[in-house]
Structure 1
Amino acid sequence: MESVDIDTSATNRRAIKQQQFQQQSRSKIRQQKLKVTFIGYLVVLVFLALVQFIGVGFFTKGFLLSRNVLPNVSECTTNDFNTCMAPARFDKAILLVIDALRFDFAIPIADSNEYYHNNFPILHQLAQDDHGVLLKFIADPPTTTLQRLKGLTTGSLPTFIDAGSNFDGDAIDEDNWLLQLHKNNKSIAFMGDDTWYALFNHYINPALNFPYDSLNVWDLHTVDNGVIEHLYPLLHKDNSSQWDLLVGHFLGVDHVGHRYGPRHFSMKEKLNQMNEVIANVVKSLDDKTLLVVIGDHGMDSTGNHGGDSPDELESTLFMYAKNNKFFKKDSSHYNTTEQGKHYRAVNQIDLVSTMSLLLGLPIPFNNLGFPIDEAFENQMELSVASYKTLQQIQGFRNSTPNLSPEINKQYHQIISNYTNNSHDLYTLVDSAKTYQSRSLEECKGLWATFDLKMIGVGITILLLALTFILTYARSIPAVRVSTMSFEFIGSVIAMSLLGLVLSLSVSLVLKPADFNLKKCLALGASLGIIVGFWAPIMDRFSINWLVHQLIDFFVYNFNSWSFLGLVYVVAHCLIFASNSYVVWEDKMVSFFLMTFGVACIFNIAINFELPRSQKILGLSHAITFTSLTRLVSTINLCREEQRPYCQATFTTSWWSIVLLHLCSYLLPTIIKSFYKLSDSYHSAAPLWVGTGLKFLMFMNAVYWTLEYVSNSEYFLSTSFVLSSPLIKSLKLAIARIVLFITLVLANFSWSKGPLCVKLELSDAVQEDSAESEDSDGPSKTATILGYGNVYGSSYFLLVLNFTVAIMLVSKPLGAISINMLIVQILSLLELYHIMDIRRNLISPLIFGLLGYQHFFSTGHQATLAAIQWDVGFMTTETITFPFTHLNIVLNTFGPFLIICLSVPLITLWRLAPSSKPITILSQIVTNVTTLITYQLFTGVSSLIFAAHFRRHLMVWKIFAPRFMLSGLLIITINIFVIVVTLWFGTGRVVTQVNRIFGK
C-alpha cells in the first residue's frame, strides 16, 4: 500500500490553490498532447490493419478459387441425337432428404446398443426384394448442405470456397434437373429446409412451397413436423395430380447431431420418426411413382460435418418402386448385416443423370456423374442410359477449354463400339464408366488450379506489413517518435492516395487481365501505405544509422527471456511445415506454456536478491500458472487425425455443471484476493467483482443447468421437470439479460464509473504546538488506498465484462477453461511484476500462446466441423443479425478477445499514477503491436506453407482450414485491438487517471 499525505492546514491553503491552478494548466496541456498522441497511434494501427486485410484478401482470392459455370442448358435433341430416355420409367418422383443420414444409421448393426443403430430398419427391409435398393451414397467434400444440394441437382462439384456460402445461398445459375422439370411444365412441390427455397424458388410451384428456417439446430421438431404436415395430404390420391416431383427435406437427425451428438437418446426418437414416415409414404405410392430417400452427408462422432472423414462422407441412397424392379447384379451385396462392408458405393453426383433419365429429362449440361446401375431394369436399359450420358459429358467437354484430347479420343472409340455392337453390353458399360471416371478426375484437377499470382501478391503484401509492424512494435525510440509526427501520418495518407490514383490509371489504361479495378485499387492502397510508412523514416535517418541503432537496441534489451520468446515464435511458425504438427498444435502450445512456467519457477528459486516474501509470493504464482496450464491441457476436443491417440474430454456432464456453479463463487473470491494484494478492492471493485461477477456467473450456471436438464434422458423421464416451453423461455431470458448487461450496460457504466481507489482520512500527529495554535482545526492525513494499482485495477473490470459474455456462449467445460484463463492472466501479471519482465519480448508472446491454448480447450480445432454453430441460437429462435453471428464470434474467438483486452495490463498492472502518460501509452502500444506481430508471423507462416503444400493430399483437410483460421484471426484481432482495447479501454483509463492524478 502506498500513501499520499495532503497538508490541509490553513496557513498553506493559498499556496495550495496557486499550485492547483498551475497543475491544472499543465494538466490541460498534457491531456491535449496525450489525446493527439493517442489519435496518432490509432491512425497508424488502422493503416497497418488495412494492409494486412488486403494481403489476406489477395491470398484467399488466389487460393480458394470458384468454378466457372457454363450457362448452357441441355435439350432432348442435340446435334440430331436424342439424349432423353423415352418413354420415361416413372411419371412422378418423391425425393425425401433426411439430412445427415449416415449410412450405418440405415443398416442392421449386430450387437450395438447405440441410439443411432437399428432404429431405422425400414430401408434395409424394403431393399431385400427387387423393388428396392439400398446403396452407400458418397458425398464430395465440403459436406455442407448447400454444396451437397448443388451436387445432387447439377451433377457438378463445388470448390472449397463454396463452403463459405452455406449460410448465404443464392439461386443456382446452372443447368439442373429441377430446372428441366420446370421447362417441361412439371409441377414441383417442396417442404422443409429453406435452402431449397434459396436455390430453386423459381422452379417450385408457389402454391406448394413450404420452406422452414434451417439453421436453428436447437429446434429438433419444427421443420420435421412441418414437412409431415404438408407431405401426407399431398400424397393422398385426390391431391397427387398437383405435383410431378415432391421434395421433403427433414432436418431433425442433423439437428440432434449438432446439438447433442449421435449418441443421444433423441437420435433414437428421430430415427424412429423417420422410419414411420417412410412406412406411410410407401403405403401411399402408386405404380408409376419412384420413391428416393437420401442423406446429403453423414456426421462425425461429435455430430458435426463439413470435412471429409468417412463418417461425414458416407451417406445413404434408397430407391423403391411398387411396380418396377431394380437391376441387382449381385444380390449378396445387399443381404449382409455388417456395417456397410459389402454395400456398393456410388457418388452423389451420379443421382443427377439417373433421375433425369428415369423421368425422361435431358441430363443437365454440367453433369459429371454416371447413371446408377441398380436404377435400371436390365443391362440393355443401363447400356442405353450410359450411351446417352456419354453424349452429355462429351458435350460438356467440348465447351470446356484446357481438357485433354486423349480422353476425347477414348470417347470416339467407345461411341464407335456402341454403334458397331463390337463388344458385349457389360464391356461397353465398363468402358463408358472408365471414360466418365477419367473425365471427372481431370475436371477436379482443373478446378483445383491455384492463382499463383494472387497468392504471391498476398504473401508479399503481408511480408511488407511484417516489416511495418516489426519496426513499429519493437523499434528504437527515435523511430517511434518520428512515426508519431503528423508529418509521418500525412506521408502515409498522401502515398495511399497516390497509390490509389496510379492503380486506377493502370486499371483504366492497361486493363491487365489478372487484375480488375478492385484488385488494382487494393494493391495500390497497400503499397502506398507501406511506402508512406518508410519514406519519412528513410528521409530522416540513414540506413546505416538505423541498422546500428537497431543492433544496439536489441543487444541492450536482449536476454534469456527474449531468446526464449524468439524460440517460441520460430517454433510456432515452423509447426505449419508439417501436417502432423498442425494436427497436434494444441499439445505444442501447451508444451510451450508449461516450459515457460517451469522456467519461472526455476528463475525465482535461484534469485537470491528477491526478498523472502516476494520469493514465496512469486513461487506461488508460478506454480499456480503451471498447474493451471497443465490442467487446461486436459480439456480437449479431438480432431479426426488425432485418433486413436487422443481421448476427447470436452463433453457436457453433471459434474461440469456442478463445477460451473462452484466457479461462480470461486473466481470472484480469487480475483478479490488478487485485488487485495495491491489494496485495490475498493469503490467499483466490490460492485463489479463481489456482486456483479458473482451474480452473472451464477446466471450462466443456471442457464447451462436448464440446458442440461432439458436434454437429460433421466430428467425427461420424470414428471417433476418443468415444461419444455417454460425452460426454453427461461434460457432465452437469461442469455439475453446476461449479454445485455455485460456487453452494453456494464461497459457503459465502466466508462462513466469511478476508479478502484478509496480516500482514507486519519488524524495527523501534531508535533509543533505553535503551528497547532495557528491552524483552524486538527490536521488530517489522507491515504489513497489502491494508489499503486490504480490503472490495472480499473482496467481489469473491463476484461471481466467481456469475459462473462464469453463464458455464457461457451459450453460448460469451455466456461471452466475461461475461468482458469483469468487466473492464469492474473498470476502472469504478478509474475511479470515480481520478475521485472513486463517490458520483455516474452510477456505479450505468452499472452498470445494462452489465447491459442484456450481456443483448443474451449472445444475448438482448426476444422470446419469444430465450429459450434448451435450457440448462435442462445439468444434468438431464428437467425437474427447481428445476435446470432455475435454469439458464434464470441464462442469461437473468445479466448483471443480476452487476451487482446488483457495485454495492456502487462504495462498497467501494479502501476501508480505517472506524470508521463504518453510513455505509458507507448509501452501499451508496444505490447499490443508485439501481440499483433506474433499473430502476423504465425499467420504468414501458415499461408506460405498452405501455398507450398497446395498439392498435398491433406491440403483441404489440414492446411487450408488452418490458413483460414489464421486469416480470420488477423482480421478479428486487429479490429478488436483498435476499437475495444485501445480506443474504448486504454484511452479511457489512461485519460481518466491522468486527469485525476496528473502531476
Structure 2
Amino acid sequence: MSEKPHDTEDSKKRLLKQNNSNLNSINNKNNIRNGRLKIISFLYTLIFVSIALLQIISIAFFTKGFLLSRQVLDSHSSLQDDIFLNSHELRNFDKAVFVIIDALRFDFTIPEPGIDKPYRNHFTLPYELSTKYPDQAVLLKFVADPPTTTLQRLKGLTTGSLPTFVDAGSNFDGDIIEEDNFIKQLYKHDKRISFVGDDTWEAVFGPFLNQSKPYDSLNVWDLHTVDNGVIENLLPQLESNKDWDVLIGHLLGIDHCGHRYGPDHHLMEEKQLQMNEFLSEVISKIDDDTLLVVFGDHGMDRTGNHGGDSLDELEAALWLYSKKPQTFRPLSKGTYDINENGKNYRSVNQIDLVPTFSLLFGLPIPFNSLGAPIEEAFKSESAFQLANYLTLHQIQRYRSFSTSLKDDSLINAKFEKLIELHQKESTEFNEKFKEYQHASLERCKDLWARFDSVSIYIGITLFAISLLILVVYCKLIPSVVIGQLSEEVVPAVIAMTLLFIVIFGAVSLVLKPTFLSQLWFVLLGAAVGIITGFCIPVFDRYSPLWILRSSCDKLTGFWTLLALIFIFIHAATFASNSFTIWEDRILAHLLITFGAMATIKSLKVPSKVDRVMGIYHSVSFMVITRVTSLITICREEQGDVCIPSFGMKWWVILLLFFFSQFFPSIIKAFYSISDSYQSAAPLWNNLFKIILFLISCYWSMEYIESNQSTLSANILRKLSLSSIHTGKSTIARIIAGVTLVAANYGWSRGPLCVKLDLNGDETSDKEACILGYHNVYGSEYFLLVMNFLAAILLFTKPMGQLALYGLVYQLLAFFELVRILDIRSNLISPTVLGLLGGYYFFKTGHQATIPSINWEIGFTLVDSIIFPLTHIPIALNSFGSFIIIALSVPLITFWRIAPSSKPIALYSTIVENCGTLLAYQTIISLSTLIFATVFKRHLMVWKIFAPRFMFASMVQVVINIVLVVFTIGFGSGGLTIQISKIFGT
C-alpha cells in the first residue's frame, strides 16, 4: 500500500520538530552546564582567595613576631644644645685608642688558678693592671644586646641604641650608619680618626675615617692576616703620635679561631698570648692624655660561634686604662668578684660606653643613645652625678621625640621625680637615675629587641593549618565532589569569617588594647573564621578517621613516593645553613633524578612511538638542567668554591638574537605534534618572534649604554647615547604594553588553535576534520603563558633569559612526559613544577639574599620611581620563574586532550593540581618559618635563615596571587567555559 503524500509531509514535519526539540534540549543542557561551570569557577576562586588571605595573615603574624623594628630619629646632638652647655666640665681626654678584640669573652680576661685551658690564664694584662692600679685601670663585664653579630654590635657600641631584628637584616650589607653616633660626632668636631682592621668599619663609617686600612673580615679560616695587619700598622702610628686623635684597631684572630676550632684549642692560647703582648706594646707607647679602651664586641659559645643570647655570647670584656693617676674611681672590691667565672662580677651594658666616652671626650651624647654613664669612669661623685643628669635629659629628649615612647606615663613620672631630686641636691639622685634608665631600657626592649614568641607561634600554627586545609581539600577529598562541597564551603567561610571578626573585635574592645592590637585581634578573628568555615562542611561530610584512611590510600605508588621524597629533601634543606646556601644545586640534583626515573619508566611504555619520545624528552630534560646549572650567581658564603658566570657579555647578546628566531620554531614543533599550529598559534608565534627580537635590541642598547667607555670610539661616533636611551625606553614600553595588556586581552577574545579541514572534491561527499582538536585546551592555554613569558624576558638580564628559554623547553617536554607516563593527577607533576620554579629563580640571576635583588630593573620603563611602573618590573624579574610555573599548572591536565564531555570534572582536576602546587610551596615556606624560629639565635640567622624565610613568604604571596587572578579564574576557568560553549561536549 503506497504512502499518501500528506502523510509523508506530516512525517517530515514531525521529524523536523523532534530534531529541533532535541537540539533545544541539548542547548538548554549546555547552557545549564556552562552556567554551573561559571558558578563553580567563581566558587573555586573565592576558596583560593580565602586560603590566600589565611596564609597572608599567617605570614603577617610571623613577621610581626620575628622582624621587630624601632624608630630611628634623624636628629643629631650638638654641644650647642641646652642640655650639653656645661658638659665640658667632664672632659678628661684629648686622644683615645680603641682596641676591639672580636669575640673577647669576659672569662678570657680573668684568672682561674689551677685550670689549664687554652682560653684561660693567658690574656692576663687587663686583670693584672686593674688589680695593681685600680685608679688607672678598670676591667668590667661588657654585656651585649642580642643579636651578637658584629655589625649590630658596632651599631650599639657607637649609637648607644638597641639593635632590632629588622636592623639585623642588614648585618652583612655594608650600609653607612647615618644614625647619630660618636664616630660621626668625632668627625663633626674635627677629630682625626685612623682605623685599621675589620673592613666592616670601612663599610659603615667610611666617610668619617681620615685614614683607613681595612682587611677582609669574612675569611674565618685566616687567623692571622687581620691581626698582623693591625699590629704592623697601629704601633707605628702610636710611636709617631700625630695625624690622629682617635686610633681604632679591630682584631679578628680570636673570633676566627673560635669559629674554626672552638675556644678549647691550642691556637686560642697562641692568639691570646699575642693579644697580651700587643697590648703591652700599646701601653708602652701611649701618653698620659690618651685613653685606652679595649673591649670585645661579643663573646662566643662553647662551639666558638655567636649570634644568640646565651651568657657566653653576651658577656664580653671591657677594659679602660690611662697612665694618668686617679683617673678612675673603683667601687668596692666585692664588686669585682672573679669566683665562679665572674658570675657576680660588676657588669655594664655595651650601650653604656657611648655616653661615657662622649662625655669624657667632650662630645655631645648621640641623640638616640639609651645607655648610662659608667660610674668608674668619673673620678668624683659630683662628676658622676653631672654625667647622669646630662644623660637623663638626653634620654628623655629622645623619648619625647619618639611617637612610640613619648606617652609612657611611668617613665615620664620617673623623669619628673628625678628633676625634683636634682633640684634638692638629693643623694638619692644617682640611684633613682639608675632605676629610670633601667626602666626606660626595658620598655624599649619590649618594643624593639625581643622576639614576640606568641606572634611567631600563631603565625606558624595558622600557616600549618592552611597546609592541612589544602591537603584535605585538594588531595584527600574525591575530586568529583569538590564542586558540590565548594557550594557549602564558600558560604560557611564568609559567615564564619564575619562572625569571628565581630567576636574578636568585641574582645579587643573589652580588653582595650592599642589600635594596632585591635587590628591584630581582628586579623586573628578573620583567620579563625576562615579555618572554621572550611572545617564545618568538610567534617560534616567526612570524619577525621576517613580522611586519615584516604590519605594512607592515596600516598602510595612509585611516583607519589618519589614526590614525597623530593618534598622532604627540599624542606629539610633549610635545617642547615650549609645546605641552604647550596639550594640551587640540591634542586638541580632532584630535577635530574626525576629525568632519570622518567627515562626508566619510559622504557616500559607499550607504544613504541611514546616509548621513544618519552626517552627523548626525559634525556633532554636532564641535559637542559645540567646545561643551565652552569649559569651561576654566587653568594658570599659560598666563597671560592663557586665561580660566578652570570653577567652581561657580548656573546650572550648574540645568543639572544639567535634564540629570538630559533625558539619560536621549537614552540611550533611542539604544536605540530598534535596538529595544533593553526589559527591563533601562527599569529601568536610570529608576534612572539618579533617581541623576542625587540627584547634583544633593548638589551643590545643597554649593553652599549653600560659599556660606552670600552666600546670603539668609531661606533659611538655614529650613535648618540641619548638617542639609544630614548630608543630602548620606547621599545621597553611597547613590549610591556603589548605583552601585559594587549596580548592578554586578545587572548581572552581570540580564536582557538584549531582549523576545520574539508577533504574530498565537489562531486563527492566531503569529510570534515578539526585540526588541533586533540590539543584544543593545551595549545590555546600555552599562548597565555607565552604572553607572560615575553614580559618576564624583557625584565630579565640576558643570561637569565637564556635560562628561561631552558625552563620553557623543559616545561613543554615535561607536559609530553606527563601524557606519556600518565601522571596528570599524580603528586609528582605539581612537585616537579615547584622544583623548576625554585631552580630557575637561581638561574635567572638571584639568590635568597636582599643584595641580590635587581633593583635597577625597576627603571626599565621609567627613569624615576613611579608606582607601579617601577615595581612591576622588579616583581617580574625577581619572581618570573614562579609566575611562569603557577601559570602553567593547568597544562598538566590540558596538554594533548580533546574537548571534555565533563568540563566541571576537568576543571576540578585543574584546581586540584593548583592546590597541590600551592601545598608544595606551603610546605617549603613552612619549613623556612620553622627553621628561622629554631635558629633565631644562630650566627647566620640574619644572613641566611631570615632572608630565606622572607623570600619564601614573598613567593607564597606571588603564587597565591597568580593562581587566584590568572590561573584559576581568567585562564583555565575562562578557557574551559569557552571550549564548552563552542564544542558543546
TM-score (norm 1): 0.66
Q: Is the contact between residue 363 and residue 389 of structure 1 (CA under 8 Å) also seen in structure 2?
A: no
1:649 aligns to 2:645 (yes or no) = yes
Q: Is the 8 A contact 2:83 2:393 kept in 1?
A: no
User: 1:481: Cα distance to partner?
Assistant: 3.3
Give the alignment partner of residue 714 of structure 2, picking from 713, 719, 723: 719
The answer to whether structure 1 residue 570 and structure 2 residue 568 are counterparts is yes
Q: For residue 730 of structure 1, report the CA deviation from its aligned partner.
A: 1.0
C-alpha distance in structure 1 between counterparts of 2:740 and 2:522, whole Å: 36
Q: Deviations over 1:656-694 (max 9, x none)?
A: 1111111101210100000000100010100111x1111
Q: 1:159 — aligned with what?
A: 164
Cα gap change, 1:967/1:67 in structure 2, threshold over 3 Å: closer, same or farther? same
Distance change in 2, residues 1:490/1:329 (3 Å): closer
Asked if residue 602 in structure 1 is aligned to residue 607 in structure 2, the reply is no
Per-residue deviation, 1:142: 14
Cα displacement (A) at 1:479: 8.5
> Residue 663 of structure 2: which of 661, 667, 671 is its match?
667
The equivalences for 1:59-70 within 5 A come to 59-67=62-70
Change (3 A) 1:152 1:951: closer
- TM-superposed CA distance for 1:636, in Å, is 1.3
Deviation at 1:648, TM superposition (A): 0.7
Q: Looking at CA atoms only, which structure, 1 or 2, has the larger radius of gyration?
A: 2
**Structure 2 residue 87 is the aligned partner of structure 1 residue 83:** yes
CA separation in 1, counterparts of 2:527 and 2:622? 42
What do the CA deviations read for 1:476-516 (whole angstroms, capped 9, x no partner)? Answer: 32794376343322111111111111101211113468981
State the match for 1:729 in structure 2: 726
Distance in 1 separating the partners of 2:794 and 2:294: 43
- The CA deviation at 1:396 is 7.2
Contact 1:357 1:385 in 2 (8 A): no
Q: Hey, what does 2:530 align to over in structure 1?
A: 529
Deviations along 1:416-454, one digit per CA (max 9) or x if unpaired, are xxxxxxxxxxxxxxxxxxxx9xx9999999954211111
Secondary structure, aligned partner of 2:166:
helix
Shift of 1:797: 0.3
Query: Aligned residue for 2:321?
Result: none
Aligned to 1:510: 511
Label 1:620 to 1:545 Cα distance change in 2 as closer, same or farther (>3 A): closer
3-state SS, counterpart of residue 761 of structure 1: strand
CA shift for structure 1 position 545: 3.6
- Counterpart of 2:888, as a letter, is S
State how many pairs are aligned. Answer: 748
SS of the equivalent of 1:760 reads: strand
Q: Which of 958, 961, 984 pairs up with 1:975?
A: 961
CA distance, structure 1, for counterparts of residue 167 and residue 948 of structure 2: 17
- Aligned equivalent of 1:627: 623
Partner of 1:367: 369
Call closer, same or farther: CA 1:81–1:618 in 2, change over 3 Å.
same
Asked if the contact 1:637/1:857 (under 8 Å) is kept, the reply is yes
Written as runs of structure 1 = structure 2, the 5 A alignment for 1:357-436 is: 362-367=364-369
Counterpart CA distance in 2 for 1:869 and 1:707 is 15
Task: Provide the TM-score with structure 2 as the length reference.
Answer: 0.67
1:697 aligns with 2:687: no
In 2 relative to 1, CA 529–164 (structure 1 residues): closer, same or farther, beyond 3 Å?
same
SS of the residue aligned with 2:713? coil
Counterpart position of 1:762: 759
The Cα of 1:19 is off from its aligned counterpart by 4.7
Summarize the alignment of residues 98-497 of structure 1 with structure 2, pairs less than 5 Å apart: 156=161, 159-162=164-167, 326-327=243-244, 362-367=364-369, 448-477=449-478, 480-481=481-482, 484-497=485-498
- 1:32 and 2:35 correspond: yes
Q: Secondary structure at the match of 2:838?
A: helix
1:200 corresponds in structure 2 to none
Q: Which whole-Å CA distance do the structure 2 matches of 1:913 and 1:566 have between them? A: 32
Is this contact kept in 2: 1:683–1:755, CA < 8 A? yes
SS, match of residue 757 in structure 2: strand
Root mean square deviation, CA, Å: 5.1
Is contact 1:710-1:716 (8 Å) kept? Answer: no
Q: Report what 2:635 is aligned to.
A: 639
Q: Call closer, same or farther: CA 1:857–1:509 in 2, change over 3 Å.
A: same
Q: Deviations over 1:87-118 (max 9, x none)?
A: 9999xxxxxxxxxxxxxxxxxxxxxxxxxxxx
Deviation at 1:547, TM superposition (A): 3.5
SS in 1 for 2:756: strand
CA 610–962 in structure 1, closer or farther in 2 if over 3 Å, else same: same
Work out whether residues 709 and 715 of structure 1, in 8 Å CA contact, stay in contact via their aligned partners in 2. Answer: no
Which residue of structure 2 lines up, in the alignment, with residue 262 of structure 1?
A: none
Of 780, 796, 812, which residue of structure 1 is paired with 2:782? Answer: 796
Q: Deviations over 1:910-951 (max 9, x none)?
A: 011011110111010011000000000110111011001111
Instruction: Please state if 1:47 is matched with 2:45.
Output: no
1:412 corresponding residue in structure 2 = none
Could you tell me which of 924, 927, 933 is aligned with 2:919?
933
C-alpha spacing 1:365/1:391, structure 2 compared with 1 (3 Å): farther
Of 940, 950, 955 in structure 1, the residue corresponding to residue 936 of structure 2 is: 950
1:825 matches 2:820 = no
| 2:749 paired residue among 732, 747, 752 | 752
Cα separation, 1, equivalents of 2:783 and 2:658: 21
**Identity level (%):** 45
The equivalent position to 1:56 in structure 2, one of 40, 54, 59, is: 59
The structure-2 alpha-carbon separation of the partners of 1:162 and 1:14, relative to structure 1 and needing over 3 Å to count, comes to farther
Which one-letter code corresponds to 1:580 in the other structure? Answer: S
Letter in 2 for 1:630: R
| Matched AA of 1:364 | P
User: 1: CA distance between counterparts of 2:650 and 2:147?
Assistant: 36
In structure 1, what is the Cα distance between the partners aligned to 2:761 and 2:528? 65
**3-state SS of paired residue (1:719):** helix
User: Displacement of 1:715 after TM fit?
Assistant: 4.9
Quote the offset at 1:549 in angstroms.
4.1
Cα offset for 1:613?
1.6
Q: Say if 1:394 and 1:800 are closer, same or farther in 2 by CA, change over 3 A.
A: same
CA shift in 2, pair 1:177/1:780, >3 Å: same
Per-residue CA deviations over 1:63-89 (Å, capped at 9, x if unaligned) read: 011236799997969999933579999
Q: 1:572 to 1:781 in 2, by over 3 A?
A: same
TM-aligned CA distance change 1:446 to 1:600, over 3 Å: same
Answer whether contact 1:901 1:980 (CA < 8 A) is retained.
yes
Deviations 1:300-353 (CA, angstroms, capped at 9, x unpaired): 99xxxxxxxx9xxx9xxxxxxxxx9754588999xxxxxxxx999999999998
Q: Are residues 574 and 23 of structure 1, via their aligned partners in 2, closer, same or farther at CA, if it must alter by over 3 Å?
A: same
2:860 aligns with 874
| Cα displacement (A) at 1:574 | 0.9
Contact 1:802 1:898 in 2 (8 A): yes
Q: What letter matches 2:752 in structure 1?
A: L
Q: Is the 8 A contact 1:810 1:891 kept in 2?
A: yes
Other-structure match for 1:915: 901
Structure 2: which amino acid aligns with 1:658? L
Matched residues in 1 for 2:825 and 2:649: separation?
42
Unaligned runs of 5+ in 1: 1-8, 91-139, 167-171, 182-243, 247-274, 279-290, 302-309, 315-323, 334-341, 372-378, 402-435, 767-777
CA distance in 1, matches of 2:920, 2:248: 60
Letter in 1 for 2:61: F
Alignment of 1:805 onto 2:791: yes
SS at match of 2:714: coil
Q: What is the CA–CA distance in structure 2 between the aligned matches of 1:848 and 1:52, rounded to whole Å? A: 18
